[in-house]
Structures are given as structure tokens and as C-alpha cells.
Chains A and B, each alone.
Chain A
């Protein structure tokens, strides 16, 4: 079988409509009689909801309805949670976790600025907002819990009064005996690091259009989401209807990055109000809302001890981590456990203990965003390792050479369990090779030779290295249905969901190769529960691995059916049939070629002749993966710090990465570049800030600074090719990787650049103010 498209940078099928402004995003969807909703949100970080008056709002001309908790009480249930740990894992890590239910609307307490308290529906958005201003809510403000560490104290005000503290989740993750190894070690470095709160901020905010059919008990939901089946299932739980009566489809989605892969109150509220009103309802989040109402991520505080021999061989790591979860936890152990298990990274860490706690605070809930706990792990480890290197007088590159897992140790068993409960064994990759290639590309040795003389001239340049391992392609499964229509066109439907990753192209490439048709002959439908009954969704760098494998397998089965029918048509054995370029022919007799349209049609019975083969050219495969497969990378950043302004200039940035075999190189490069730039934003500019009273301060793009084309350098990408042994395509996920190491490569580079000032970088973002204060701190002490 010829694979024509795998590995080719096929231009994207989705581009023409996006380029022409003819994409159909959720706010572009218009329906007759469409009403518009707005959400009334808590302005307080923590308050009792005493009373609400909506009569003035209801009376405003143009208002269709105003809904409080009591109006929808019948359907108000705690929102569904994900990220439960398998039993074997729970027991191994001694997990204790407490439920922190969030209702779609606040019932008697609000716990973060932005939490929904009412829904207003009107003829247009402006009228809805006018009416929302007329909703009177009586709050009794309570003392908010804002500081991460103070929140964990036993006497801190409690967010969830039925729990005995704000620590909602706790576990201890261990390999070997870190305590003993630390006791016996030559050198122990202790540090405290803080990763700040930031998020994905896609250019398109969230939104829903709900089209109810109350008489039929059906619902169509257009949702800018990353996992329509999860949303569908949540609505099944709320409404009690069979799944097939609730259709959830993602239209074109303007970026997700994990932010749209969480379940939100509005995804319950808007369907409920639409059903109550019997009219289609649209809700589009605005940017100010987005910052307070869409998930936050990353905020963690760590106290780490790293122990080594005199020559820099790491013997143990003991880390205590605190996740600042915000007001509710819908994601179980996912983020802290991802952090814990990704601490070792590319390093050989024979003894590891991670004591994790998740604390509730009066902030927007925390959920996975591109990297999902791994950027935090990398920051803490790579910073600690650089600190260790300084203390031992080792170059940061050398300490990594000394401690990276070597290719002869692969597959490498870290002694841990992944969050799917499976042994965490790095399956493939060559980490020293990635390191050497990245260092060579940035002319590391030449830079080191020059660095001192640059400093003498008042030029403070530094280089920073960061690396990561990423478990990609997490299960439990993804499905694909592939079929051939009577015109010979191939249709692929999968539970994966694209927000820019190019699934309409990459899955078409896979199906085209699997069957033997030109890629233009394939149409991909993703993100629609009507197209495939069950699915998981797109997040966690999983779609190429899991959905891709399902598409490939289903395509092959369809090909076998086509061969059988073609064989019958041409009186040949199916084993002698080749399919190429949309034509089926007997091998060795190209003149026998017939189109697939003919093959399909020939199988259809007619009055004149019954069919001799079944006219079934469809296959559905639910692909289960054994466990994740490990992608990895080394990032190296070369920067210059202006010590007068605190500005950091990114001079060069190299990524040497392995994502296994590559379906579409152009798309893969795009994912890496996009991820790196998000990490640059997180490392330097972006910050979600609360004041001491819990008031949210980052509610516009003038407060939350996203990187522009000027701040980011040209990224240099080096590909390593270590196919995954864990799926037939040999692919690994690549959606998140770029964002994992970039903040840390820069942080390490800044500390390197400011060595003469003895600066230690313990916190992000490295805003100009922070850089100046780091320099000044050291100068004055």
C-alpha cells in the first residue's frame, strides 16, 4: 500500500473558508427567533447570596426571561467532574479528596468574582445587558481566601463549610526513598518556587447557541467546546433524556488550548433557559467575562529539595507542592498529578517524593491549560537543577549531560504510575541527542566563550535550557467512523474536535492513505455527537495518537470491504485488488481500473439484479490505547536583559523535539511555534491578578498582556524522529509541548544573564518590574 500523504505538508482543507471570512464560529450562527442571553455574575470573591430581585429586569421591554436558581431548581445538580483516579493509583498515592460541587448557578454562596447568579434573556444582547443591570442582588460579603498558603491553614475561612479545611485534595507520590537519600547526600539544595496564575486566552471567547425542540424533547447545542460528547453526557444527566436527543456540535472554534475543554455553568444554563422559553438562545462571552469566568491555570507553590553527589549526579528530589485551585475543582487529580509525575522529566531521579495538596481559594476555578501541570513541574525542576549546577560550579548543560536518561536505558521505567494507572515507562526518544542538537544550533560553546566579555561591556546576555517529557495520547479511547458514499467520496467522523489543529486535513490524509483515494476525496466531520455516538474529545495532545489511530484502522477496514466488492465486480480475489487514487484495479492490470463510485454502486441491489456483496462500506473503530506515549523536547533560549529597563529581548530560540512520526510537518511546526509563544507570554507578560481582598484585577487585554509579533523571535525547530511503539502510526502528541518549557528556558536564561548580580529567579512572570527588583535586591543585600 502506498502512503502518499503521511508525512506530507498537505495544504489545509479548512483554510479557504477561514481566509474568506466564511468560517462559521458560534457567534456567526443565526436562527429565526434567536434570543440573546447574558449572565449576571458575582462581583464579590466570597459572599452569601441573601436575596435577588428581578422584577424590574423582567419588566424591561424586550426581555424574554430572567432566571434565578429557584427558577431552574428542578435541574440544578452539581456539575460533572472529570479526572478521577483509577483505584490502583488512588491506593498507591494515598489519595484523599473531597468533593467541591459547583452548581451551574450559585445557590446560597458565591465563591469567585464572576460566578453566575442569574441568566437574563432578551431580544438582543444590549437589551439583555440593560436588564442585567436592573437585577438587584443582595450579597453579604465574607472574608475572602486569597493567599495560596494562608488558604491551607487550618483556621482559614472555609470556602466549603462542610469540609474541615480548604485542602480539598492530597496525595503523596513516591519512588524509592527520597528522605534517606537526602540524608546521605553530599549536597542538598532547597528552594521555593512559585508559578503564577495564567491561562490560554484564545482570541475567540466561549459561546453557545441552543436550539430547543421542547415538544419533541430534543436539543441542538452549538458550542465552542473541545469535547462535545462530554457536554452531551452532562446534559443527559441533567435532563434525563436519551443521548441521541441531545445533539452537541462544535462549529468552527477560534482556539481552545484547554480553556474550552472544561465543563462550564453556561453549558447547562443556556440549554435550560432555551427549553424553558421554547426559543433558540445565544450566549457569547465577552472578553471581560472571559477572564473571570473561563478557567485559570498554573498557580502552584513548591518547596523542593534536590540532592546530589559532589559531581552533580542527582540522587533524590523531595517536593511539596500546593495548587491554588480556586473555588471549585472539576478535574480531580489531573493537574497536581501531572505535575508530580512529570517532575523527573528527562532526568534520572532514582528517589522521588512529591507531597501534593490542592487548596481552594476564592478565585476562578483552575483547570488544565496547554501543558496541564507539566509547565509547573518543569519550572520547579529545571530551576532547581540550574541552582544545583551553580552551587556545584557546573555548567547547566553539563549537569544535564550527567543526568539525562541515556538511549541505552530506554525504554525507561520511572517507577511511577501515569494517571491512567499504567506504569510510567518512557517508550522512545533520545534525550542527550536533543540536548546536543539544541546546544549546537544555538552555538552554546561560542556563546559561553563570549559571555564574559559581553558582560565587561555592560551587555547582559544569558542562555537558558529547559526540557520536558510529555505523556501524550491519553486514553481511554477515541472513535472514528469511516464510510464511502455512492459518489466514491469518503467521510470520516470522529470524536476529536479541532480548534485550529487542522483535523480536517490530517485525518483526511490518514483516511486517504488507508483507503487509497486522493486526499481531496475525503471529508472529515469532527466534533458532532450526531456523527458519532460516543467520544472523548481533543485535549491532552491526544488526537493524532488516539483519533488518528482509529481513523487509520477504520480506513483499512473500509478498504477491505471495497476490495471485496471490487473483487466481486471484476471477478478477482480481493487479495488481488489494489486501490490507488480512488480507483480499484486488479494488480498488474491497470486497465481494469474502476472508480470507487462504481464499486459502491455495483454493490447496490437493483430490480434487475440482486447484489452479490453487501453494500456496506462503513467501519467504526474505537481505539483504546495501552497507555500514553512519550514526546519530549529540549528548549534553549538566548536572551539579553536591559538592566536599566528590566526588558528582556529574546535573541534566539531553539526547540529540539521528538513527537514521533509526523503526519503533516507544516501543522506540527505550527503547533510547536504556537505553544512556545504561549509559554513566552506566560513567562514574561501574562498574569491573572487578584488583590488582597480577592477582587479580580485582570479583566481586559490591557491588563492581561498577550505577546504580539514584536515580542517573539523567529523560532528554530529541530525534529528528532523516534516513532512511538505504542500505536501503529508511530505518532506522538504535539499540541501542548511548545508551552511546557518556554517559560522556564527564559527564566533560566535570565538568571544566567544576571549572574553578576547573583539573581535567583523564583517566580514568574519576569516582567520588567520583577527583573529590576531582582537586580536591586541583590545589589542592596
Chain B
């Protein structure tokens, strides 16, 4: 029987950029993004898949990066919060969050943005109840949620076409 591998080689695209890395088999995707790629915008609040702060897009779907191993991510396309803005220009969803005070400490915000992004792509004209349901997997302790809900509804209303585009 072969020895289990302690290291793996992965090749993936993150925010449109190609990377090739050797990772420890036990390293989570979140840790890989934060430590190996210096993309610290993806945050860790629980490391057991409940708080949603680590939410990113993997091949276009929201996933908890704390529950995935980097080794599972060979050949995938990942989008993180750092890929939303274009240079100086904030993404319409980010602008809506700022306008509605949809963030206070900012720690849950990257996860919220990624969840909201995927949601609006799939449900372009949501009701408030739809938004609350969609964000139920992202915990926030600061805002009480209503300003976040208002931000997502605002983005859907004001920039329906561009809101789900990511560079």
C-alpha cells in the first residue's frame, strides 16, 4: 500500500490569475488563500462551516473555504472578494453595501458579498424574504442584518445587469 501523500500539487485560477502551488494535504482552501496567496480578505470565524465568513465562489458556486482542502482544488476557478472591485471602481454590490451601512466591523463582509453575488445572479429580482433566506448562512454580529438586506435589495434594484459581473 502506498504511503498517503503529505503534499499535493495543485493548479488553479484565482480571480482570473493562474497559480501553481504545492500544498500540504491537510491545508484548508481558506488557509491556502490567506497564507500562500496572501489573499487575506477571506476570513475565518469558526472553521466548522457555520459562520460563512470564509465564503468564496468555486466554479461559480458559493462554498465554505474552511471546509475544503486546497488539495481538492486542482483545476478549479475561484473568486474571492479581492476580485470584485476593478481598480478604483467598487463593484455595484460593494457600493450598495457602503451606501446602506451594510457593514460595521467588516469581518463577515467578504462572505456576505460573495453569497450575495451568487444569489443575485440566480435571483435577479428578489423580495426581502428571499434575501434573508439567501443570507441565512452568513452570520453577522454587528449590523442586525437589516442594512445588509437593504444593500442587497438596493444593488438588485439599481444595477441589475452589472451587479453579478465579476472581473
Q: A20-B81, A28-B40, A674-B141 are known contacts. Are A287 and B108 too (CB-CB below 8 A)?
A: no
- B90 contacts which of A19, A202, A286, A714 (Cβ < 8 Å)? A19
Q: Which of B70-78, B145-153, B159-167 contacts A (4 or more CB under 8 A)?
A: B145-153
| Residue interface mask B34-59, A partner, CB < 8 A = 1 | 10001111111111101101000000
Chain B residues closer than 8 Å to A23, beta-carbon distance: 41, 106-107
Report yes or no: A709 in contact with B41, Cβ–Cβ below 8 A.
Answer: no
Is B101 interfacial (CB-CB < 8 Å)?
A: yes
Is B113 interfacial (CB-CB < 8 Å)?
A: yes
Q: Give the number of A-B contacts (CB < 8 Å).
A: 180
Chain A residues closer than 8 Å to B142, beta-carbon distance: 255, 500, 670, 674
Chain B residues closer than 8 Å to A670, beta-carbon distance: 101, 104, 142-144, 147
- A715 contacts which of B90, B98, B146 (Cβ < 8 Å)? B146
Residues of B contacting A: mostly: loop
Interface residues of A in 255-293 (CB under 8 A from B): 255, 257, 286-288
- B139 contacts which of A27, A28, A286, A706 (Cβ < 8 Å)? A706
Shortest Cβ gap from A31 to chain B (Å): 13
Interface size on B, residues (CB 8 A): 57
Distance, CA A200 to CA B85, complexed state (A): 32
Is B67 interfacial (CB-CB < 8 Å)?
A: no
Report yes or no: B106 in contact with A708, Cβ–Cβ below 8 A.
Answer: no
Q: A11-B99, A20-B82 are known contacts. Are A201 and B141 too (CB-CB below 8 A)?
A: yes
Shortest Cβ gap from B89 to chain A (Å): 11
Is A14 interfacial (CB-CB < 8 Å)?
A: yes
Chain A residues closer than 8 Å to B47, beta-carbon distance: 286-287
Chain A residues closer than 8 Å to B46, beta-carbon distance: 286-287, 700-701
Most buried by B among A11, A676, A710: A710
- A126 contacts which of B26, B82, B113 (Cβ < 8 Å)? B26
Output the nearest chain B residue to A201 by Cβ-Cβ distance: B141
Distance, CA A253 to CA B107, complexed state (A): 8
Output the nearest chain A residue to B24 by Cβ-Cβ distance: A126
Interface size on A, residues (CB 8 A): 58
Output the nearest chain A residue to B83 by Cβ-Cβ distance: A21
- A678 contacts which of B138, B141, B147 (Cβ < 8 Å)? B141
| Residue interface mask A10-45, B partner, CB < 8 A = 1 | 011011111111111101101000000000000000
Report yes or no: A20 in contact with B84, Cβ–Cβ below 8 A.
Answer: yes
Shortest Cβ gap from B81 to chain A (Å): 4
Chain A residues closer than 8 Å to B113, beta-carbon distance: 19
Is A203 interfacial (CB-CB < 8 Å)?
A: yes
- A677 contacts which of B42, B109, B137, B144 (Cβ < 8 Å)? B144
Distance, CA A738 to CA B109, complexed state (A): 22
Output the nearest chain A residue to B39 by Cβ-Cβ distance: A21
Chain B residues closer than 8 Å to A708, beta-carbon distance: 135-139, 145
- B133 contacts which of A27, A205, A710 (Cβ < 8 Å)? A710
Report yes or no: A673 in contact with B146, Cβ–Cβ below 8 A.
Answer: yes
Report yes or no: B80 in contact with A701, Cβ–Cβ below 8 A.
Answer: no
Output the nearest chain A residue to B38 by Cβ-Cβ distance: A30
Chain A residues closer than 8 Å to B107, beta-carbon distance: 23, 25, 202-204, 254-255
Report yes or no: A20 in contact with B41, Cβ–Cβ below 8 A.
Answer: yes
Chain B residues closer than 8 Å to A27, beta-carbon distance: 34, 40, 43-44
Report yes or no: A669 in contact with B101, Cβ–Cβ below 8 A.
Answer: yes
- B135 contacts which of A19, A205, A674, A709 (Cβ < 8 Å)? A709
Report yes or no: A19 in contact with B94, Cβ–Cβ below 8 A.
Answer: yes
| Residue interface mask A650-677, B partner, CB < 8 A = 1 | 0000000000000000110110011111
Report yes or no: B105 in contact with A255, Cβ–Cβ below 8 A.
Answer: yes
Report yes or no: A21 in contact with B51, Cβ–Cβ below 8 A.
Answer: no
Report yes or no: B139 in contact with A254, Cβ–Cβ below 8 A.
Answer: no
Residues of A contacting B: mostly: loop
Shortest Cβ gap from B17 to chain A (Å): 15
Chain B residues closer than 8 Å to A254, beta-carbon distance: 43, 45, 105-108
Report yes or no: B43 in contact with A16, Cβ–Cβ below 8 A.
Answer: no
Distance, CA A21 to CA B53, complexed state (A): 11
Is B14 interfacial (CB-CB < 8 Å)?
A: no
Chain A residues closer than 8 Å to B120, beta-carbon distance: none
Report yes or no: A16 in contact with B90, Cβ–Cβ below 8 A.
Answer: yes
Is A165 interfacial (CB-CB < 8 Å)?
A: no
Shortest Cβ gap from A631 to chain B (Å): 18
Report yes or no: A21 in contact with B82, Cβ–Cβ below 8 A.
Answer: yes
Chain B residues closer than 8 Å to A738, beta-carbon distance: 144
Is B132 interfacial (CB-CB < 8 Å)?
A: yes
Chain A residues closer than 8 Å to B41, beta-carbon distance: 20-23
Chain A residues closer than 8 Å to B84, beta-carbon distance: 20
- A287 contacts which of B45, B109, B141 (Cβ < 8 Å)? B45
Chain A residues closer than 8 Å to B143, beta-carbon distance: 670, 673-674, 677
Chain A residues closer than 8 Å to B44, beta-carbon distance: 27
Distance, CA A714 to CA B149, complexed state (A): 10
Is A299 interfacial (CB-CB < 8 Å)?
A: no
Shortest Cβ gap from B33 to chain A (Å): 10
Could you name 23 residue pairs across A and B whose Cβ atoms are closer than 8 Å?
A14-B106, A16-B90, A19-B81, A19-B85, A23-B106, A25-B43, A202-B141, A203-B105, A203-B108, A254-B107, A254-B108, A257-B141, A500-B103, A501-B104, A670-B144, A673-B146, A674-B143, A677-B144, A701-B50, A709-B132, A709-B133, A710-B136, A712-B144
Q: Which A residues have a C-beta under 8 Å from some C-beta of B?
A: 9, 11-12, 14-25, 27-28, 30, 126, 200-205, 252-255, 257, 286-288, 499-502, 666-667, 669-670, 673-678, 700-702, 706, 708-710, 712, 714-715, 738
Q: Which 8 A-B pairs have the closest CB atoms?
A: A21-B41, A18-B106, A254-B107, A500-B105, A500-B104, A673-B144, A677-B144, A21-B81
Q: Which B residues have a C-beta under 8 Å from some C-beta of A?
A: 24, 26-27, 34, 38-48, 50-51, 53, 80-82, 84-85, 90, 94, 97-99, 101, 103-110, 113, 128, 131-133, 135-149
